[in-house]
Structure 1
Amino acid sequence: MIIFDTDMSLGTPGAEIDDGAALIFLLRAMGERVTAVTTTHGNTTLENVVHNSRRLLTYLERPDLLLGRGAAHGLIEEKAWFADWQAGYGETPPWPDETTLPLAVNLIIDTVRAHPGQVTLIAVGPLTNLALAVRLAPNIVPLVRQVVTMGGSLAENPEPEFNAHCDPEAAHIVLNASWPLRLIGLEITNQVQFSRADFAALPDANPALALLKAQADGWISRVESMGWGYGGCALHDALAVAAVFDPSLFEWRETAVSVTLHPENQRGITRAAPHVGSLVETAVSVDVARCRELIWSNIAR
C-alpha cells in the first residue's frame, strides 16, 4: 500500500512539474498499490495543491483515491516559500468539488494503524504531514513499512534544498524517527534529465499528458533563467517513485543525516552525520539510463 504525499503544482501555470510527473508515473507503474494522496504546502498554496491534485486524479481516471488535506505551512514558520517564485506563476484554475477532505495527518495515522507493516509513504514535498503524524501518534513509526522521500542534498558544498528549507523542523523529525527511510537528494535527482523534445513528443489525447506537455516548456524556461540547466529539466520527485518500484536503480549508503535549523540563511541544509541521529539509507548514485527509461516509458505510454 502506498500513500503519496505531495505539494502538487502541475496545473499552476509556470510552476514546477515534477510532482505531476511523479504521480502519473506512480499510477501507471503501481496504481493498484496506491491507497491515498495527501497534500501539503510547498510549491504553491495548499488550496492550489488540492485543486491541482483533484484535477490530475480526475484526468488519470482515479478520482476514487482518497485525498487528504494537509498542512498549509511549516511546523514553526508560516512563511509561504513559494511566494519568492510566484511572480512567474499564472492563476491556478479551480477544480470544483464540494467534497470535504479528511485531514492528511489523520489519513496517514489511520491507514498505518489499519494496515501495520504494509504502508509505504512516498513524500515529495515538505515533510510537515509526516512530522505531524510522528508527533501525534509516535506508535505508528514501527508500523510503517517504509518512507521514501525526495529532499535535501548531501553534496560537498550544500545549499538548502527547497523541500527541507520549507520546513527544516519537520525534516529533522522525520529523518530521526527511526523508521525504515530512504532519502534521494538533489545531487542525485539532478543527474536524470528530460529534454524539451521528450515533452514535445508526448501525446495530446490524454489530458494528464497534455497538461504536463503544456506546462513543461514554461518550467524549462524557468530552469534556464535560474541557471540550473539548458534545454531540459530534472523530474526530481519521480525518482522517489522509481526508488520504490526498483531500488536497484540506486546505490544506497546508510548514515544519519543532520538538518540545520539555524541561522536563518542555512535553515534546511542537510549533511551526512554518521555518528548523530537515526540511520537512514541515502542514495549515493543512480543508474541514469535505466532510471530515465523506467520513468519515461511509464509516463509516455
Structure 2
Amino acid sequence: MSDTHKLIVDVDTGIDDSLALLYLLASPEAEILGIASTAGNVPVEQVAANNLNWLALCGAPDIEVALGAREPLVIPLRTTEETHGPQGIGHAVLPDSGRKRSVRTATDLWVDLVREYPGQLTGLVTGPLTNLALAIRREPDLPSLLKRLVVMGGSFNYPGNTTPTAEWNVSVDPHAAKEVFDAFSVVPAHRRPIICGLNVTESIEMFPEHVRRLAEAAGSTPEEIISPDDGPDVRSSASNSVIRHMSDAIRFYMEFHREYDQGFLAHMHDPFAAAVALDPSLATLKPATVDVETESPLLIGTTVADWVGHWKREPNADIAVSTDPAEFFDRLVHRVGNYARVVG
C-alpha cells in the first residue's frame, strides 16, 4: 500500500467517475500522470471540463487532461444525462477552472506515457474503452508496456444495466472493448487486466449515511443529510466546498436509482475500480477468457466469460467476483473525508 502507483486514468466523468478521481487524489500512493477524457456519460468536451473543474476545486496540481474520442469506433454515440445530469455531475455546478486542456490527444497521452514508463504504469478505465483501443492501434505493444490495466465494465453471470445483458461502458463501444480484450491476450498471468463488472460493483451501494460520514470526516457543517423526502430543488449547504459539490452530485444519482426502483442509493462502480487499481486485494479475482458480442442486435455489448476453457483460449482477464463493501466505504470515507478537510 505504501508503494507509489503511476496512473493514467481514462474517464467519461460522470458522477461516480468524479468520486473515483477524488479517491485517487486523496490517496497518497496514487500519482496521476494524465487523465484521458472520452465520450460516454456526456459528450467528451463536457467530460474534459468536468475533469479540469474537479482538479481546480480540489487545488490539485496541473495534471494533464487530454481530449479523447468524440464517438465510438463503429456505432453512434449514446450519452446518459438522465443518469448523471445535463453536465454529468448531477445537481452540482462546479466553478469554471480556467485550466486548459492538453495539446495532446488522449491517444497520444496513452502511447507517450506507456513508452515513457514501460512496465511502470497502471491504466484505469472507468468509461468506454474507445481511447485505449485507438492507442493500441497506434502502439500494438501497449498491453505489454503497461504494468496493469483495471477496467470498470461488463457484467458476468449477472444482468446488464443498459440492456438485459449489457453494461453501460461496454455497450457504448462494444467494438473497442472487444479490441482491448483481444489485445491483452498476450500479457502474462500476473499482468492480466482486472475487470470490475456489475456483478461486483452493484454491491457497492452508497446510502445517505455514507455521505453524512464523509462530511463528518471533512469537518463540514452543518450535518450533511440527504433525505428521500427532500424536494427537487434542495441543495447542500455544506461549509466544505468539496463536500457540498460532491453531495449535490450524489443526491442526483440517488434520485435516479430510486426512479428506477433500485432504492434511494447510488451504485459507486468507478470509485471501487479506482480502489482496486491501488490495491487489487480489495477484490477476489477469478481468471477467465473474456470476449464481447458485437454482431447480434439482441446481445450487442454483452461480455461473455469462459471460466472453464470451452474456447481453448488462455484467460485474458481477472474478473472481480466478490469484495467487502464495508471495507471499501471505510477507505473511501477516511481518504476522501480527510482530503476534503484539507483542501475544501
Q: Specify which of 122, 139, 149 is matched with residue 124 of structure 2.
A: 122
Q: Is 2:202 the partner of 1:190?
A: yes
Partner of 1:287: 324
Contact 2:193 2:317 in 1 (8 A): yes
Partner of 2:8: 3
**In structure 2, how many angstroms separate the alpha carbons of the residues matched to 1:181 and 1:99?**
28
- CA gap 1:30/1:162 in 2 versus in 1, 3 angstroms: farther
**In structure 2, how many angstroms separate the alpha carbons of the residues matched to 1:147 and 1:290?**
22
Q: Is 2:286 the partner of 1:253?
A: yes
**For 1:75-117, what per-residue CA distance to the aligned partner results, in whole angstroms no more than 9, with x for missing partners?**
111332336x37x834576834455532011011001001110
Bigger CA radius of gyration: 2
Aligned residue pair count: 291
**In structure 2, how many angstroms separate the alpha carbons of the residues matched to 1:101 and 1:8?**
20
- CA gap 1:91/1:7 in 2 versus in 1, 3 angstroms: closer
Contact 2:210 2:329 in 1 (8 A): no
Contact 1:5 1:38 in 2 (8 A): yes
Q: Specify which of 152, 160, 163 is matched with residue 166 of structure 2.
A: 160
TM-score by length of 2: 0.79
Contact 2:130 2:176 in 1 (8 A): yes
- CA gap 1:291/1:248 in 2 versus in 1, 3 angstroms: same
Q: Is 2:174 the partner of 1:137?
A: no
Contact 1:54 1:63 in 2 (8 A): no
1:297 Cα deviation (Å)?
1.8
> 1:1-301 to 2 correspondence within 5 Å?
1-9=6-14, 17-30=15-28, 32-82=30-80, 85=82, 89-90=85-86, 95=96, 96-158=98-160, 159-178=165-184, 179=187, 180-201=192-213, 202=215, 203=220, 204-227=238-261, 229-274=262-307, 275=309, 276=311, 278-301=315-338
- CA gap 1:144/1:273 in 2 versus in 1, 3 angstroms: same
**In structure 2, how many angstroms separate the alpha carbons of the residues matched to 1:152 and 1:259?**
9
SS in 1 for 2:49: helix
**For 1:130-174, what per-residue CA distance to the aligned partner results, in whole angstroms no more than 9, with x for missing partners?**
111111110222111000011000024552100000000111111
Contact 2:67 2:101 in 1 (8 A): no
Q: Which runs of 5+ in 2 are unaligned?
A: 1-5, 221-237, 339-344
1:288 Cα deviation (Å)?
2.0
Calculate percent identity across the aligned residue pairs.
Answer: 27
**In structure 2, how many angstroms separate the alpha carbons of the residues matched to 1:97 and 1:246?**
31
**In structure 1, how many angstroms separate the alpha carbons of the residues matched to 2:102 and 2:158?**
45
Alignment-mate amino acid for residue 207 of structure 1: S
**In structure 2, how many angstroms separate the alpha carbons of the residues matched to 1:199 and 1:73?**
34
- CA gap 1:32/1:150 in 2 versus in 1, 3 angstroms: closer
1:245 Cα deviation (Å)?
2.1
1:71 Cα deviation (Å)?
0.7
**For 1:23-44, what per-residue CA distance to the aligned partner results, in whole angstroms no more than 9, with x for missing partners?**
0001111465211111001101
Q: Which runs of 5+ in 1 are unaligned?
A: 10-16
1:290 Cα deviation (Å)?
1.3
SS in 1 for 2:242: helix
- CA gap 1:279/1:300 in 2 versus in 1, 3 angstroms: same
- CA gap 1:30/1:105 in 2 versus in 1, 3 angstroms: farther
**For 1:259-295, what per-residue CA distance to the aligned partner results, in whole angstroms no more than 9, with x for missing partners?**
1112234211112124445521001111222122112
Contact 2:107 2:135 in 1 (8 A): yes
- CA gap 1:56/1:62 in 2 versus in 1, 3 angstroms: same
TM-score by length of 1: 0.90
Return structure 1 stretches of 4+ with deviation > 4 angstroms. Answer: 91-94, 96-100
**In structure 2, how many angstroms separate the alpha carbons of the residues matched to 1:123 and 1:168?**
14
